[in-house]
Structure 1
Amino acid sequence: MKPLDPRLLRRARAARTFLAASVLIGIASGALIIVQAMLLAKVIAGVVLQGADVTSAAWALAAVVAGRAVLLWCQEVVAQRSAAAVKSTLRRQTLEHALKLGPVWLSGERSSSLTTLLTKGLDDLDPYFARYLPQLVLAATVPAGVIGWMATGDLIAAGTVVITLPLIPIFMALIGWATQAHSRRRQRALDRLAHHFTDVVTGLPTLKLFGRARAQEAAVRRVTDRHRVASMSSLRVAFLSSLALELLASISVALVAVGVGLRLIEGHLGLETALMVLILAPEAYLPLRQVGLHFHASADGVAASEEAFRVLETPLPERGDRTDVPDLRTTNLQLYDVTVRYPGRDEPALDGFDLEVRPGEVLALTGPSGAGKSTVLAVLLGFIAPERGVVVAGGSAADEFEPSAWRRQFAWVPQRAGLRSGSVADNVRLGQPEASDDAVRLALLAAGSSELELDKAVGEHGQLLSGGQQRRVALARALVTDAPVLLLDEPTAGLDTDTEAAVIAGLRATGRTVLMVAHRPALITAADRSVVVGPRELVLA
């Protein structure tokens, strides 16, 4: 693990501000440490020798101690505010980048892992900014100043510190390698726990239906035990490494103290100088010891930030920046020789697929499950970059246009309706936030859901609605938009015959271009054309 990941400085302005403020505070703290040691040595020597007035030195010492307390408070305030700003920045950037990568990329990620990263994972950056980085700055500034000042009083003691001080970073590096591995194992254990728990909670109704809910207790307990073992292993390494660093620093300070004591007895050093050296010696080792101590507290946050950077550094599909998208109400939409291959699969999902969609027609994509019908919709929306081939509208390739401008031409209803907690009207207005109540009712009517009240409650993931109602609300959300092309993935799944007929009539009444994935015979029959997606594309009149 790098002490300071440069990617944090590039992606978060607050991290750069914090680092600059920490350097200034570190330099000031180092100067006050030296002044404090000089004043303390003067006060003690004056009291012991009983030959000097130490009142002014004592007041100056109190002022220095107060100054160090103020600097510590400033460091804490700057660290906490910077940590909050950096976490907010990383969360926003990671979430925005994940959304730009699209549903296809998200489907390959564990939603629980991404949720854990954006919540608990990045919260672990607090100790990294509040404890580790300030100590890292002190470790880079204080020892050099302290050793330099010690050399003005006792060159031998300063040389002893110079020789023994590098042992601490060496031990820290050795311990850090072990800690990094433990932190990554702990992060993976936490991801597995979150993923398994999410799966169990999501499937709990099915598990209870088949009497298997209690059997999952043992599985959750096993995953929890693995997380507990990984956490305790990290703590064990942290405690042992702290002991090793404390022992090494104590032995080093003892070597300095023995040498100073012998030279003091022989008369080669004065009492005040010897006291100053003895007071400064532990201060040379303290910042490095504290870095090692807080390294463990920050390791989980750094592991989470590395996971965030993995998401952020995933390349986006190459798209243009043109916003003059042709109006698909009057323009043909064409796919030429489109080939798509998903990572980890040998066979292409689409192989040399051609398609032409004319304005205002209703076109059905048919074929066996897994033939690539949903992939066609994903290619049109720009969620997938074809390995070969191109999507063309008005003589221009789709990848020349800015993604959000291109996608405004489409309204998409996926296989699983994405509904959120609220009312029916709230979920329909996700497609058009400014839609009036009348517009929402007309969209519901066209979707065959005229019986649904606008204020009817909808639970998370569409709970409180039947499967068919969820599908129709999602369809109404697409119809309330002014998009000229509707991309529908099995829009009548779960509907009875009469409702399906009402939905088909509503779609035709819109006059829009409709491209739908269809398996049900009534939906295929109602289409103007059907295209079979598979090894051989067959267009039926």
Structure 2
Amino acid sequence: MKPFDPRLWHLSRPVRPYLVLTVVMGVVTAAAVVVMAVMIATIVAGVATEPAMRTPQAWTAEIIVLAAAVAVRVGASWLHTRYAHRSAYAVIAGLKQDVTASVAAMSPRRRAAVRDDAAAIVTRGLDGLGPYLTGFLPTLALAAVVTPTVLIVITLYDLTSGLIIFFTLPLIPIFMVLIGLLTQGRARAKLRTMSQLSAQVLDLIAGLPTLRTLGREAGQAESVHRLGDSHRKTTMESLRIAFLSSLVLEMLATLCVALVAVSVGLRLVYGHMELAPGLVALILAAEAYLPLRMIGTQFHAAEDGVEAADKAISLITDPADETTATAIVGSGPQTIRLTDMSLEARGGHAPHQLSAEFAPGTFTVMTGPNGVGKTSALHAILGLVSPSEGTVTIDGTDIADVDHEAWWRTVAWVPQKPVLLPGTIKFNLELAGPLDNIDSAARKTGFDEVIKDAKHGLNTILGSGGAGLSLGQRQRLALTRALARDAAVIILDEPTAHLDHTSATQVLDELKRRAHAGATVIVVAHHPHIVAAADNVVEVRA
């Protein structure tokens, strides 16, 4: 991210008035600094050189102007600080909402790829943008306004001091660039370790019930500790560099101001200049270097937030999921065709050049070893991911051109891990809309026995993820939900994985009946019994 990224101006409305105020306050501060320096130099020089002017009454006008300049500078600083924190909060909150909305609108595959970074950015990363907005940007404005103004005033009062400052000022940006080149990977490494730690903790929390069941809940402690230690080390390295760079800039600025002080002092001793111009040069010399010194300090303090903001803006402006799908599929059975379809996976493609046709009235089983991309192929058929190569067509229309919402309304879909929400059994059965034939579908999947045994029948409350039901009962619920719909296309991923032989046979018979009645039935399965019952078998390879 640049000192100021123009994308932030376009994406975040609260930052616009804040930047305008920052520039205005910079101009006001520059004027106040110059007036203060001139008034102090005038009063001190007059008192030192003119004995008749050593009474306060002689300098009433100058003292009033000095007090007014001090008040203006303090007021400008207070107003800007007060508004800066409010604006920073609004900008950060807005960016978090935009990142969340952008990630939610992505395809599942793209969302899975950016999930860890997005979680780290939204939960903690963007909070580091506060020092950037409240510290670095105001300092940048001061450097752009105060430093040139002060240099011009010093040159008008003392050309020699102006030339010294003019030639030494570039040394500070040069050293800042050198330090930046040394530390350019630190913030990126810190954000990466934060993302890894966040992902590890989230996965651990999600799998904790299973780990406790297997007695392995303590097994991940070492891994989390290792990631936490890595995060601590990268954070301390960033702090160490920030402190050292601040020390370098402070020493360099001190030496530069000392050159001006020595030059002014020698010329005053030998009578080559008057006291008032010398005092103006001495007072303003430190003000000329101050904004540049502060930029280095503030930049390192805000570096983590700048890196997070850069990633956040990249996520918000990610064009990967733009679509112009308009074709509406029919409500009846559909012919689905895959032609040399491949999907990118780790180290290759899974599936690879898959060709198959799923016609109405047929019961088709996709089979193959684990990891070859069977589930990914179903996602491509549903339009949840886009093929890397080849095509997926619905009745001759490319899936990219199909109105996905209209397509999904014709499909009954049961994934490996069915979605179950906290609520009643009936609520979970009717997630896609009211159903009239729950009892009939429940008998075909064996879920009617589960309803009878439940304390309150269909009104029995389930917890998150279907807590209160066994894995097999959850699978029956999902199958009942799918079969209770009169769907033209039925897509099931390992539908009998958690069912006993009797229930699996009932489900298989119902699927065959639906297929022979004209529905397009696609099932991913390994079990030889299901493969043997299929009208068509598609072998999937990676």
Structure 1 partner of 2:286 = 282
1:217-239 Cα offsets, whole Å, 9 max, x none, are 34333332222222111111111
Instruction: Choose from 151, 154, 168 the match for 1:150.
Output: 154
Structure 1 partner of 2:305 = 301
Structure 2 partner of 1:330 = 332
Paired residue secondary structure (2:183): helix
1:180–1:299: 8 Å Cα contact kept in structure 2?
A: no
Instruction: Choose from 357, 372, 397 the match for 1:355.
Output: 357
1:535–1:343 CA distance, 2 compared to 1 (3 A): closer
Instruction: Choose from 230, 246, 249 the match for 1:245.
Output: 249
1:246–1:289: 8 Å Cα contact kept in structure 2?
A: yes
1:390-423 Cα offsets, whole Å, 9 max, x none, are 3333543222245555545445332123445555
Report percent identity of matched pairs: 37
1:56–1:241 CA distance, 2 compared to 1 (3 A): same
Paired residue secondary structure (1:416): coil
2:343–2:350: 8 Å Cα contact kept in structure 1?
A: yes
* 1:114 partnered with 2:118: yes
Structure 2 partner of 1:53 = 58
2:161–2:260: 8 Å Cα contact kept in structure 1?
A: yes
For the residues of structure 2 that align with 1:439 and 1:157, how far apart are their CA atoms? 91
Paired residue secondary structure (1:13): coil
CA shift, 1:526, in A, is: 7.4
CA shift, 1:133, in A, is: 1.4
Structure 2 partner of 1:31 = 31
Which amino acid in structure 2 is aligned with residue 20 of structure 1?
A: V
For the residues of structure 1 that align with 2:468 and 2:317, how far apart are their CA atoms? 39
Paired residue secondary structure (1:349): coil
What aligned pairs does 1:189-338 form with structure 2 within 5 A after superposition? 189-209=193-213, 211-312=215-316, 315-316=319-320, 319-322=323-326, 324-327=327-330, 329-330=331-332, 332-338=334-340
Structure 2 partner of 1:104 = 109
Structure 1 partner of 2:538 = 532
Paired residue secondary structure (1:279): helix
Which amino acid in structure 2 is aligned with residue 236 of structure 1?
A: R
For the residues of structure 2 that align with 1:297 and 1:98, how far apart are their CA atoms? 28
CA shift, 1:177, in A, is: 2.0
Paired residue secondary structure (1:60): helix
Structure 1 partner of 2:14 = 14
* Count of aligned residue pairs for this structure pair: 526
For the residues of structure 2 that align with 1:131 and 1:441, how far apart are their CA atoms? 65
1:74–1:267 CA distance, 2 compared to 1 (3 A): same
Over the residues paired in the alignment, what is the CA RMSD in angstroms? 3.6
1:482–1:313 CA distance, 2 compared to 1 (3 A): farther
For the residues of structure 1 that align with 2:7 and 2:362, how far apart are their CA atoms? 49
Structure 1 partner of 2:524 = 517
CA shift, 1:148, in A, is: 0.9
* 1:340 partnered with 2:342: yes
For the residues of structure 1 that align with 2:395 and 2:219, how far apart are their CA atoms? 58
Paired residue secondary structure (2:540): coil
1:14–1:82: 8 Å Cα contact kept in structure 2?
A: yes
Structure 2 partner of 1:539 = none
1:11-66 Cα offsets, whole Å, 9 max, x none, are 33333443333222222222222222223334444555516633343333333333
For the residues of structure 2 that align with 1:410 and 1:421, how far apart are their CA atoms? 24
CA shift, 1:140, in A, is: 1.5
1:174-210 Cα offsets, whole Å, 9 max, x none, are 1112232222222222233223333444444454455
What aligned pairs does 1:47-196 form with structure 2 within 5 A after superposition? 48=48, 49-50=53-54, 53-108=58-113, 111-196=115-200
Structure 2 partner of 1:386 = 387
CA shift, 1:446, in A, is: 7.9
Structure 1 partner of 2:2 = 2
1:337–1:388: 8 Å Cα contact kept in structure 2?
A: no
1:402–1:17 CA distance, 2 compared to 1 (3 A): farther
For the residues of structure 1 that align with 2:149 and 2:426, how far apart are their CA atoms? 67
For the residues of structure 1 that align with 2:425 and 2:306, how far apart are their CA atoms? 42
1:100–1:316: 8 Å Cα contact kept in structure 2?
A: no
For the residues of structure 2 that align with 1:402 and 1:94, how far apart are their CA atoms? 25
Structure 2, unaligned runs of 5 or more: none
1:31–1:388 CA distance, 2 compared to 1 (3 A): same
Which amino acid in structure 2 is aligned with residue 2 of structure 1?
A: K
1:444–1:249 CA distance, 2 compared to 1 (3 A): farther
1:494–1:275 CA distance, 2 compared to 1 (3 A): same
For the residues of structure 1 that align with 2:184 and 2:427, how far apart are their CA atoms? 46
1:332–1:174 CA distance, 2 compared to 1 (3 A): same
1:490–1:518: 8 Å Cα contact kept in structure 2?
A: yes
Which amino acid in structure 2 is aligned with residue 30 of structure 1?
A: A
Which amino acid in structure 2 is aligned with residue 191 of structure 1?
A: S
Which amino acid in structure 2 is aligned with residue 263 of structure 1?
A: R
For the residues of structure 1 that align with 2:288 and 2:240, how far apart are their CA atoms? 27
For the residues of structure 2 that align with 1:443 and 1:264, how far apart are their CA atoms? 101
Structure 1 partner of 2:368 = 368
For the residues of structure 2 that align with 1:235 and 1:112, how far apart are their CA atoms? 24
Which amino acid in structure 2 is aligned with residue 379 of structure 1?
A: A
TM-score of the two chains, using structure 1 as the length reference: 0.84
2:341–2:392: 8 Å Cα contact kept in structure 1?
A: no
1:378–1:143 CA distance, 2 compared to 1 (3 A): same
Which amino acid in structure 2 is aligned with residue 11 of structure 1?
A: L
CA shift, 1:120, in A, is: 0.6
Which amino acid in structure 2 is aligned with residue 26 of structure 1?
A: G
TM-score of the two chains, using structure 2 as the length reference: 0.84
Paired residue secondary structure (1:54): helix
1:351–1:395 CA distance, 2 compared to 1 (3 A): closer
Which amino acid in structure 2 is aligned with residue 366 of structure 1?
A: M
CA shift, 1:262, in A, is: 2.7
Structure 1 partner of 2:417 = 416
1:217–1:346 CA distance, 2 compared to 1 (3 A): closer
1:127–1:297: 8 Å Cα contact kept in structure 2?
A: yes
1:109-140 Cα offsets, whole Å, 9 max, x none, are 5x444322221112211111111112112112
